[in-house]
């Protein structure tokens, strides 16, 4: 499904790239909101999570939700019992856990350190800032088509610079 959405988005981008006005980027950006809008409306018709209902003590509603989600011949009562048992085990295991436990055990301390360092280094590199803020500055500045380092064709450069960013020049022809 994700690949199909990417393909459709790419086709729309390529189709709107030749437009000389703002619609070259407004149409693709506007279409981004179609699927989330459909999903938002659909959320009102999806039942609550059976696990959440059972966790909050609403066992009968949880079983009813399971019946709606599962095929007719499924054993939802057994599944609801399994969910309740799993919740009870989680509560039992997690009752004595504190945030400082991440640092007491050497293995957990190492995991925490690696995870925090990975996220910190990613943020410190500034790559997301560059990608988000200057997506086309690199492409606009380098107009030398004889440069061997420039891997983009003229049509790709024009498409990116005309539809990716409102600050970029649009194609004149």
Give pLDDT tens digits along the chain (173 positions).
Answer: 667 877 888 888 888 888 888 888 888 888 888 888 999 999 998 888 999 999 999 999 999 999 998 998 999 999 999 999 999 998 888 777 788 888 888 999 999 999 999 999 988 887 767 666 655 544 444 445 555 554 555 555 545 544 445 555 544 44
Closest by Cα among 17, 61, 7 to 155: 17
The CA-atom distances, in angstroms, between 163 and each of 46, 127, 135, 156, 172 are 36, 21, 11, 11, 13
pTM reported for the whole predicted model: 0.45
Q: CA quadruple 122, 128, 129, 135: dihedral positive or negative? A: positive
Angstrom distance (rounded) from CA 139 to CA 151: 10
Residue 46, Ramachandran bin (φ over 0: left; ψ between -120 and 50: alpha; else beta) = beta
pLDDT (tens digit, 9 = 90+) per residue, 95-127? Answer: 777 888 888 889 999 999 999 999 999 888 877
DSSP character at residue 145: T
Q: Are 27 and 12 in contact (CB under 8 A)?
A: yes
Q: Tell me what pLDDT residue 134 has.
A: 55
């Amino acid at each position: 499904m994700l690949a199909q959405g990417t393909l459709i988005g790419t086709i729309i981008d390529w189709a709107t790239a030749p437009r000389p006005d703002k619609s070259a980027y407004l149409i693709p950006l506007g279409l981004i909101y179609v699927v989330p809008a459909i999903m938002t409306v659909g959320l009102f018709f999806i039942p609550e999570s059976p696990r959440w209902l059972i966790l909050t003590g609403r066992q009968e509603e949880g079983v009813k939700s399971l019946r709606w989600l599962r095929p007719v011949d499924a054993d939802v009562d057994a599944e609801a019992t399994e969910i309740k048992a799993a919740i009870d085990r989680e509560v039992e295991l997690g009752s004595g856990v504190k945030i400082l436990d991440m640092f007491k055990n050497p293995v957990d301390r190492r995991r925490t350190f690696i995870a925090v360092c990975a996220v910190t280094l990613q943020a410190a590199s500034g790559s997301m800032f560059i990608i988000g803020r200057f997506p086309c500055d690199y492409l606009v500045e380098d107009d030398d088509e004889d440069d061997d380092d420039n891997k983009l064709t003229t049509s790709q450069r024009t498409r990116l610079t005309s539809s990716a960013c409102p600050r970029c020049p649009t194609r004149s022809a």
